[in-house]
A and B are shown apart, each in its own frame.
Chain A
Amino acid sequence: EAQVTQNPRYLITVTGKKLTVTCSQNMNHEYMSWYRQDPGLGLRQIYYSMNVEVTDKGDVPEGYKVSRKEKRNFPLILESPSPNQTSLYFCASRTGASQPQHFGDGTRLSIL
């Protein structure tokens, strides 16, 4: 089954403790993105990648890092999480420039 898989689905952690949210897609898609969703603000793009070793900032990249060492994986790294990064996070992928994005089921992060 074609899908985008995120892990973990839920995480409660403390300020400053590094964490990684993994994202994997099995559709051989070139493009991958990370979004965060906060009440009243809709989805905002954090980072995106158009191919292996090619990443670029979205609209809210501060406090996040990403890497794209393999086509299928696009992890989101929070080196020193802070409470303002408490949010619902989505990973997405798509095959080409005009094709629709496929979203994962989301990761709910709570930073205390």
Chain B
Amino acid sequence: EVQLVESGGGLVQPGGSLRLSCAASGFTFSSYWMSWVRQAPGKGLEWVANIKQDGSEKYYVDSVKGRFTISRDNAKNSLYLQMNSLRAEDTAVYYCARDRGAYFVAAAGNFDYWGQGTLVTVSS
């Protein structure tokens, strides 16, 4: 059974940092592009970043470029999101999501499995 379990969320002050983790199981993690998608309270979905199977390509939404870094450790079946210089508008539930399609050279860009999400609150 495919499982994605996020952790690392919490309350952080503006300007602070947080590192999210996503533990994957039930599939060959190293074969898939992975993404982070977020959802502000009561709002819609926003794709944040993705990373290629070997970590050689990474893409970000403009609003987080230079502040967030996506990474992965295939030996640990884990995906990460390092978030620096956090702002109030980064407050959201952050989901880890698997790209639909293994071994793709380019990201499929749609997501067949999602974690349960972890809440990040940026507030003083």
Bound pair: A and B? no
